[in-house]
Amino acid sequence: MLRVVVNTLPAVPITPKSIDDYTDIVGADVVDNARSLAGSLEGARVLHVNATAFGGGVAELLYTNVPLMRDLGLDAEWNTIESSDEFFAITKLMHNALQGMELPLTDTMRDIYLSHNEVNAKLCEADFDFIVVHDPQPLAMLAYMPEEARSRAKWIWRCHLDLTSAYEPLWQFMLPYVKLYDAVIFTMRDYVKPGLDSVPIAAIPPSIDPLSPKNQPLDDAMVQSIIGRYNTDRRRPYMLQVSRFDPWKDPLGVIDVYRGARERVPGLQLVMLSAMASDDPEGWHYYEKTSRHADNDPDIHMLTNMEGIGNLEVNAFQSGAAVVLQKSLREGFGLVVTEALWKAKPVVASPVGGIAMQIVDGETGFLASEPQECVDRIVRVLQDQDLAHRLGAAGREYVRTRFISPRNVIDYLKLFRSLA
Q: What CATH code is carried by the domain that includes residue 230? A: 3.40.50.2000
| Contact indicator for 92, 281 with CB cutoff of 8 Å | yes
- What stretch of H or E contains 407? helix 405-419
Helix, strand, coil percent values for the chain (each to nearest 5): 50, 15, 40
What pTM did the predictor assign? Answer: 0.92
Please indicate, yes or no, whether residues 134 and 236 belong to a single structural domain of this protein: no
Residue 208 DSSP one-character state = B
Shared domain check, 157 and 237 = no
Do both 259 and 361 map to the same domain? Answer: yes
Same domain, 60 and 198: yes
Whether residue 141 sits in one domain with residue 73? yes
Task: Report the domain count for the chain.
Answer: 2
Q: Are residues 60 and 180 in the same domain?
A: yes
Going residue by residue through the chain (420 aa), what tens digit of pLDDT does each one get? 455 445 799 999 999 999 999 999 999 999 999 999 999 999 999 999 999 998 678 999 999 999 999 999 999 999 999 999 999 999 999 999 999 999 999 999 999 999 999 999 999 988 999 999 999 999 999 999 999 989 999 999 999 999 999 999 999 999 999 999 999 999 999 999 989 999 999 999 999 999 999 999 999 999 999 999 999 999 999 999 999 898 999 999 999 999 999 999 999 999 999 988 655 667 888 999 999 999 999 999 999 998 999 999 999 999 999 999 999 999 999 999 999 999 999 999 999 999 999 999 999 999 999 999 999 999 999 999 999 999 999 999 999 999 999 999 999 999 999 999
Q: What is the pLDDT of residue 5?
A: 47
Residue 199 sits at φ, ψ, to 5 deg, of -110, 130
Task: Examine residue 23 and state whether it is found in any structural domain, yes or no.
Answer: yes
**Can you point out the beta strands (E) in 21-175?**
45-50, 75-80, 130-134, 154-159
Query: Same domain for 398 and 409?
Result: no
Domain extent for 142: 19-207+404-419
